[in-house]
Structure 1
Amino acid sequence: MLILAWGRVVSVGALVDAVWGDRPPTTARTQVAICIGALRKAFKQAGVEDDIISTAHPGYRLETARSETDALEFTSMVSDAAAAVRGSRLDDASALYTRALALWKGPALAGVTGQPVEDEATRLEERRLSAYKAWSDVDLALGRHQELIPELTAVAQNYPLDEQLRHNLMLAQYRAGRRGEATEGFRSWRRYFVDELGLEPSPVIQELHNAILRDEPGLALPAESAPPPETRFVPAELPPDAAAFQGREAELAQLDTLLDRPPAGQPTALGFVTGVAGVGKTALVVHWAHRAAGQFPDGQLYADFSGGDGDQPPMSAHALIERFLRALGVPGEQIPADPGARESLYRSVLAERRVLVVLDNVSGVEEVLPLVPGSGRCCVLVTSREQLDHLAVGGAVRVGLGLMSEAEAERLIARIAGEERVAADPSAVRELFRLCDGLPLALRIAAARLAVKRHWSVAHLVHRLSDERRRLDELSTGGIGVRASFAVSYRGLPKKAGRMYRRLGLLNVPDFTAWAGAALLDVSPGEAEDLIERLVDANLLTVTGTDATGTLRYGLHDLLRLYARELAQSEESEEERDEARGRVLRTLLTLAEEGHRREYGGDFSVIHGSTPRRPLDPALVDGLLRSPLKWFDAERSALVALLVQACDLGLDELAWDLAMSSVVLFETRADYDNWRLVAQRALEAAQKSGNRRGEAAMWYELGSVEMFQQRFDRAVPLFEVALGLFEEVGEVHGHALTLRNLAIVHRVRGDLVSAMGKLSAARDVLHEVGDASAEAHALGQMAQIELDWGNADEAVTLSREAVRIATGLGETRGAAQALNRLAGAYLRQGRYDAAEESYQWVLRLVREKGDSRGEAYALLGLGETHVVAERYPAAEQVLLEALRLTHRVNDLFLLARVNLTLGRCNVRLGRPDRAGQFLTLARSLFRQMDSPAGEQQAAREMAALGGGAPRDLLKVC
């Protein structure tokens, strides 16, 4: 199977099907792997050092050279022999057929079973038979009838029903003076033929028999030579091979499969190379065509459909056929004017020839189809910036050409600009690769500039390219450039698709979905997706994948983004650009606010700015926000990038509002870096414009980031600034939220009286403004303080009220937090079963939401319950799972508590060394967070060990 698919990957599934058919054993895939290992070992034992069989998803590939595969060598020789016949080089043809047939050592793939292999064996045997018949035709024409008879007799016996073999044998026998053998052989063969098939032989062979009986003169080989063959022109139109061509080995191997010549009567071999402008499609195809030119002895035709520099209209297929016919030697007066007749003549001329036809920069199917020969002897290779999906015919080889790898780019630059330039500053070369977007055209231009400017270092060119406004200007040399290459693709776009491409360049996002395109053009998402897919087909956009919501995401390469932005600036007014960007940003704000509302159960724990929301179709909102957190996850990178862009554009009111509406993502996913980034950038934008309310909101968010990371000493001054600004502008809701968070910090640091006072004041305001979720959270914090004071009954009362409010809102997150606190209160009351039931409820809620932090807290509470209930093995198991999750969410306070509880558990299990390790780490973490109460708890547990701190304390720390 690997040999038959030379150079191509054979999937494991195909191998299983070939061996076992539709009833594979359960161990089939394992057996395939074992067999592959044995094959590799056999090659090694035979002295082959290279890796002949490589693993390549979804299976394996044979890497041996084509010349090592006898079936391909046979096919190549037979094709060359046929070309020699067409060129009237009969001696060469006879020698090639003889060598090709000598490669056979019996039936093809003898003894190997399995339907795919048996089918291939049948096909090879048919090709062998065809070669025998062609060889006998040639040797008869050369007058070698005497030498031909022995082998042709044996072959005719092996294929007793083949009339052409019998015909040629009879003719050879007659010409060798063995007339009796010819006629007697025919009579015996006829009886067998009729008995086997119930048919009479064809009129052609019966006429030969009658002619032999009559000794007709026409059977003898003419004494005089045949007239000289018609002179055939052999066009060689390929452009020069690309200088310093590098890499693309996998793509070249794909194109090599075009040389696996199809049997007679099969369609022409077709290859399609597609990719973004400047990716090197023409260079790849021309390089391969030069490599393969020897396989096409009747010539190579080439046409560029781009119209040269793109300013001239491309030649039509009708006109191009005339040019190709002239190149193939057809006189102009013999070329019909009628397009249909001209196509027919073109296919007739190519019918007996093996010609490579290269069609470069094709934009549509109408340019390709008239130029496809009807014969399987020829090969057509097409390059296009379009996908040309409607030409994805069965058996066609399709190569989607991607960007260069960093290693390939480094070798290319070294070959053009010099090895010493690359060796002198490898980091600058890597940055050059990034700035050129891995685009071969851009890299060649950059390397050419370095080759000319010998006094420039790579770092100097990188510095020049770093200015986005000049980058496309820099990447031009010798009349060619990246901008000109992109322009050809852009000019071919319909009007609306062109506008979509331009406006996408206005967004500084790594990727996007159709809703963003819809906002840019103010059209429906369905229409936007159609336009975006048109840009994908033109290779101006790429599909980056499918996000967590199952939505397709798209992206622009950096250079294409710069070109799109240039077009937007030159072809659209500033007002149009601002309106397009504004629609996207306001759509994002609308979705983020609604996502927050759905996740929190309402518009809670947040304040908003005055930016008008963009009205959206409810069906669109429901479709995008089926799972709000998944949507936030999918849009995270784009959201951060657009928020930063809003700050750069001076849209401070929108920026801080969007930052606050998105906190649910950053908080739930413990994404502190992006949370801090957006809050800081929005703060700077608000300060620059004098937006005091927005500034207060972002000081509050920055304090919250520090609080969630348990850096309480940093959080306090940030909250205090926010409190002052909220008081200044009269923002009571924001003030209450900040007061609540400041109270949490005081509670953790042990100042319970101050914390309770702040929480009580915050709760009153939160109740008054209708922020039920934040109110429930404040009640939960008050319950925790009551627990810290030892008032378990009061804590249960407060917690139940928090649960009532949160569950009434349908807010999963708030309900989970309130239930977690209630379970802790039950634990203090000694109601272990009630506590465990509540923690299990919390686990169900947070796992549904994918809330790892919430899950870790619930597991901690469940572990504490088991410890108090003296179920130590169960406690240890749950707490170790909590520890694993805690490391993922990066919560120091949670980490300290889990270690503290694991220490207590191991004390009870009688493992002093292990207990000491957990407790020492817990004490260190509490001290780091300035939490005296926690530090004291850890110290008390360590004292219970009798001073048994771990000996290897330094290692633990």
Structure 2
Amino acid sequence: MDRETPADGDFGVLLHGLRHSAGLTQEELAQTAGISVRALSYMERGRSRGPQRRTVSALATALRLSPQDTRELERLASLGRPRRASATRALPPAAVPDTAASAGVPDLLPRAPRGFHGRAAELAAVSRAAEGETPLCLVVGPAGVGKTALVLHWAHQSRAAFPDGLLYADLRGFGDQGEPALVEVLREFLLALGVPHDRIPESVNGAAALFRSLAADRRLLVVLDNTRDSEQARPLLPGGRRCVTVVTSRHRLAGLIVTDTARPVAVDVLGPTDATMLLAGVLGSERVDAEPEAARRLAELCGGLPLALRVAAARLAQQPGWSLEAMAAELSDETRRLSLLDVEDTGVRAALRVTLQQLPGHVSRLFAQLGCHPGTHVDRYAAAALADTAPAAAESCLERLAVAHLLTETSPGRWTMHDLVRLYARSLDGGPDALKRVLDHYIATGISAVAAAEPGNEECFPLPKDFLSPAAVREFSDRSAAVAWYAAERDDLILAAAAAHAAALHERTWRIALTLWPLIVWRVRDGWSPLLETALEAARADTDQHGESRVLNVLGWILIEEGRVPEALTHLRAACALASRAGDAVAEANALIVVAMAQAALGSLDEAAHGCERALELARRAGDRTIEKLALQHLARHRADAGDWRQALDTATQALALHQPGTTDIPRTLLLMVKGEALLGLGNQTEGLRQLDLAAREAESSGYDDGAVRALAALLRVSADAELQARYDAALARLSTRT
């Protein structure tokens, strides 16, 4: 057969397919092109060339084809009038489906995965998506989580639902081998559907249009595996609503959701039970059942990631004499874990490396810098500090990493990493100053939080000499915003102090710890002594007497609350001495107040009151209203504990007068308690109960659970009210849960 026959057939097939994909009827295209419907029908059947140039121009305009695709149409249209071909060599396009049927049902699926376990919810979600009006399912998740295994398992289980065939293509969007040309993928699909090789258009648009046309009335399953982005998938989507397409990707592919109404199915790591079952599937149930605790530990160390679990199981399978416990012990070493989870060219590190290679350079650099972050969560400000950039630019990178499933957004504006992903990030070079920058971000933000949470207090400390100022520091509108930040960042602040200490950045260690003091006040029984002992060691290594005195003061107070009063007194007297030698009247007054707390705890109330009076004198001499209020507050407390109700009431009233009207904070709450108790002691029960109730309500509204418990307990001593009891029980439950 000569060159003209398949060329004319190509044009007819292409014309029919593109018209169908554009949603144009023959009448609509014929009217646009200014030809008869019969002439257009003949052209689509390959029986007549007709006025093809005018038809090409109309089609290009209707479809908004690119110049390249328009030229392809013109090339096929210009190859000349065909000679009649034999029936065996020139099959009309309309007969192509019959050819496919005679060739058998196409099946390009790889074999079903072995040892597949669990995923009932995800399998059900894929099935629901397959039954929808627009049956396009998007299965997304991080590298190694088992997306392909899930989809292939579902596909093999669902064979009966697709009598016209099962098509599969690995688009290699996240591999080292390079992506296949889309026209070659379409060629493989069309060949599987029975289209002769010489009838397949050479352009992507032409081949895609023919594929959509042939798939329009079939019940096909199309699996597009390892898809890089929406653009890569779109030309491969079949036409018609009877076809089901399942796309897998490490990226979210939001474009397919927007333009093609794809229904996403997220695949996460396995839970402990399914992870253990996966190990048993590779190693055998007997071996896993013999060491159930070690099996669960292995699953935990692999983070429930199927790829990591399979690599660990493969290593154990090669060593029948190894115990699961021995393997778990090796994986416990974070410095070796990733290397132990690699086998040849397969493993967690290889999968993550390929994922990272797909990202722009500035995004992958931030990922490496995130490895220098000492905590488990990051926000736009911390990321900006790590990258030495603006928060908006950092947030854009964080979102790209989340789209690639290298980060997970756990709450609005807060991201975290899977443990193995974090280990991989920490194995990369984040730059020499990344840790310093993020530590200084925490110092700067902590100072801002203290200013909002405890307005009027002096700054905790001067900044380090080599402080790296962040491009932007979070601002807090009020006390509640600062409290929310402390609550969210508490664990990461503690980890930041530990990382600074490990890196011998002593000047930063004790400063980060001191920025937590408002939270320490609110959560006094939350086990702060290890952090403060580390801070004390760092302040001494930094030879900063101001910092040492402040840390000793806070540590002494915490030790009093923990019942370690003699130890507390040792630290507090050292704090007083340091402050006195430095001529720091404010620090000395602060230390004297906490010394008085220790003395009161030992029963020396008169001595405690005397210490507070000395602190009050120093504060007034220094003109520090904050310490003056604090000294009055503690003096009132000691006088109330001694039963000196009149002096306690006068002192509390004097201290409350120093508070700005409308403010609510812990010192005010404590003073209201003293005032209420003093009024009760003086016989004024109505006003005493009112003051205690006010103290309790302010404590409850501000989240000061310890204060709420104290105020409500004082109320219950004189009133057996059911509502009070319920409030007390609730506050105590919150306090117990937290501690």
Place the TM-score, normalised by the shorter chain, in its bin.
0.7 to 0.9
Describe how 1:30-41 pairs up with structure 2 within 5 A.
Answer: none
Distance verdict in 2 for CA 1:612–1:621, change over 3 Å: farther
Q: What SS is found at the alignment partner of 1:601?
A: coil
Bigger CA radius of gyration: 1
- Could you give the per-residue CA deviations for residues 60-98 of structure 1, whole angstroms, max 9, x where no partner exists? xxxxxxxxxxxxxxxxxxxxxxxxxxxxxxxxxxxxxxx
1:646 alignment counterpart: 500
- Say whether residues 1:371 and 2:224 are aligned partners: no
1:322 alignment counterpart: 187
1:451 alignment counterpart: 317
1:298 alignment counterpart: 164
**Structure 2 letter corresponding to 1:746:** Q
- Say whether residues 1:251 and 2:122 are aligned partners: yes
- Say whether residues 1:391 and 2:268 are aligned partners: no
CA contact (8 A) 2:381 2:472 kept: no
Deviates more, 1:601-610 or 1:651-660: 601-610
Which of 113, 119, 123 aligns to 1:242? It is: 113
**Structure 2, gaps ≥5 residues long:** 1-94
Distance verdict in 2 for CA 1:299–1:772, change over 3 Å: same
Deviates more, 1:392-401 or 1:518-527: 392-401
**Structure 2 letter corresponding to 1:555:** T
2:457 alignment counterpart: 603
Distance verdict in 2 for CA 1:632–1:770, change over 3 Å: farther
Deviation at 1:789, TM superposition (A): 5.2
1:214 alignment counterpart: none
CA contact (8 A) 1:607 1:734 kept: no
Q: What SS is found at the alignment partner of 1:621?
A: coil
Distance verdict in 2 for CA 1:770–1:452, change over 3 Å: farther
Alignment partners' CA distance in 2, 1:457 and 1:887: 43
Which of 783, 802, 805 aligns to 2:658? It is: 805
Alignment partners' CA distance in 1, 2:729 and 2:559: 22
**Structure 1 letter corresponding to 2:635:** M
Alignment partners' CA distance in 2, 1:857 and 1:834: 18
Q: What SS is found at the alignment partner of 2:611?
A: helix
Distance verdict in 2 for CA 1:428–1:729, change over 3 Å: farther
TM-score, structure 1 as length reference: 0.62
**Structure 1, gaps ≥5 residues long:** 1-225, 546-550, 892-957
**Structure 2 letter corresponding to 1:385:** R
Q: What SS is found at the alignment partner of 2:439?
A: helix
**Structure 2 letter corresponding to 1:772:** R
1:742 alignment counterpart: 595
Deviation at 1:327, TM superposition (A): 3.0
CA contact (8 A) 1:587 1:613 kept: no
Alignment partners' CA distance in 1, 2:466 and 2:530: 24
1:889 alignment counterpart: 735
Distance verdict in 2 for CA 1:765–1:229, change over 3 Å: closer
- Could you give the per-residue CA deviations for residues 640-687 of structure 1, whole angstroms, max 9, x where no partner exists? 2222212212222222122122121133134522x2232122233344
Alignment partners' CA distance in 2, 1:529 and 1:429: 38
- Say whether residues 1:719 and 2:572 are aligned partners: yes
2:76 alignment counterpart: none
Q: What SS is found at the alignment partner of 1:515?
A: helix
CA contact (8 A) 1:719 1:742 kept: yes
Q: What SS is found at the alignment partner of 2:596?
A: helix
1:820 alignment counterpart: 673
Q: What SS is found at the alignment partner of 2:378?
A: coil
1:407 alignment counterpart: 273
Distance verdict in 2 for CA 1:723–1:374, change over 3 Å: same
Distance verdict in 2 for CA 1:500–1:235, change over 3 Å: same
- Say whether residues 1:793 and 2:646 are aligned partners: yes
Deviation at 1:877, TM superposition (A): 6.0
Which of 377, 394, 401 aligns to 1:535? It is: 401
2:557 alignment counterpart: 704
CA contact (8 A) 2:408 2:416 kept: yes
Deviation at 1:728, TM superposition (A): 5.8
Alignment partners' CA distance in 2, 1:527 and 1:721: 47
Describe how 1:165-184 pairs up with structure 2 within 5 A.
Answer: none
- Say whether residues 1:560 and 2:413 are aligned partners: no
1:586 alignment counterpart: 440
2:289 alignment counterpart: 423
Describe how 1:638-677 pairs up with structure 2 within 5 A.
Answer: 638-673=492-527, 675-677=528-530
CA contact (8 A) 1:746 1:752 kept: yes
Deviation at 1:275, TM superposition (A): 0.1
Distance verdict in 2 for CA 1:452–1:788, change over 3 Å: closer
1:752 alignment counterpart: 605
Q: What SS is found at the alignment partner of 2:320?
A: coil
2:103 alignment counterpart: 232
2:487 alignment counterpart: 633
Distance verdict in 2 for CA 1:699–1:890, change over 3 Å: farther
Describe how 1:412-491 pairs up with structure 2 within 5 A.
Answer: 412-491=278-357
Alignment partners' CA distance in 1, 2:225 and 2:355: 14
Which of 381, 384, 401 aligns to 1:515? It is: 381
Q: What SS is found at the alignment partner of 1:273?
A: strand
CA contact (8 A) 1:593 1:662 kept: no
CA contact (8 A) 1:586 1:612 kept: no
Describe how 1:609-628 pairs up with structure 2 within 5 A.
Answer: 610=464, 620-622=474-476, 627-628=481-482
Q: What SS is found at the alignment partner of 1:544?
A: strand
- Say whether residues 1:829 and 2:682 are aligned partners: yes
- Could you give the per-residue CA deviations for residues 32-64 of structure 1, whole angstroms, max 9, x where no partner exists? xxxxxxxxxxxxxxxxxxxxxxxxxxxxxxxxx
CA contact (8 A) 1:672 1:705 kept: no
Deviates more, 1:240-249 or 1:786-795: 786-795
Q: What SS is found at the alignment partner of 1:432?
A: helix
Deviation at 1:388, TM superposition (A): 1.0
Deviation at 1:438, TM superposition (A): 0.8
Q: What SS is found at the alignment partner of 1:434?
A: helix
CA contact (8 A) 2:374 2:496 kept: yes
- Could you give the per-residue CA deviations for residues 224-260 of structure 1, whole angstroms, max 9, x where no partner exists? xx9x964325432222222211111221222233564
Q: What SS is found at the alignment partner of 1:243?
A: coil
Distance verdict in 2 for CA 1:608–1:242, change over 3 Å: same
Q: What SS is found at the alignment partner of 2:156?
A: helix
Alignment partners' CA distance in 1, 2:636 and 2:654: 10
Alignment partners' CA distance in 2, 1:320 and 1:887: 62
Deviates more, 1:406-415 or 1:699-708: 699-708
Q: What SS is found at the alignment partner of 1:303?
A: strand
**Structure 2 letter corresponding to 1:428:** A
1:934 alignment counterpart: none
CA contact (8 A) 2:130 2:136 kept: no
CA contact (8 A) 2:440 2:469 kept: no
Distance verdict in 2 for CA 1:321–1:565, change over 3 Å: same
- Say whether residues 1:846 and 2:692 are aligned partners: no
Deviation at 1:464, TM superposition (A): 1.8
Distance verdict in 2 for CA 1:840–1:625, change over 3 Å: closer
2:91 alignment counterpart: none
RMSD, aligned CA: 3.0
TM-score, structure 2 as length reference: 0.80
Describe how 1:339-350 pairs up with structure 2 within 5 A.
Answer: 339-350=204-215
Deviation at 1:315, TM superposition (A): 1.2
1:122 alignment counterpart: none
Deviation at 1:565, TM superposition (A): 2.0
Alignment partners' CA distance in 2, 1:618 and 1:335: 58
Q: What SS is found at the alignment partner of 2:476?
A: helix
Deviation at 1:441, TM superposition (A): 0.3
Distance verdict in 2 for CA 1:241–1:883, change over 3 Å: closer
CA contact (8 A) 1:505 1:561 kept: yes
Q: What SS is found at the alignment partner of 1:640?
A: helix
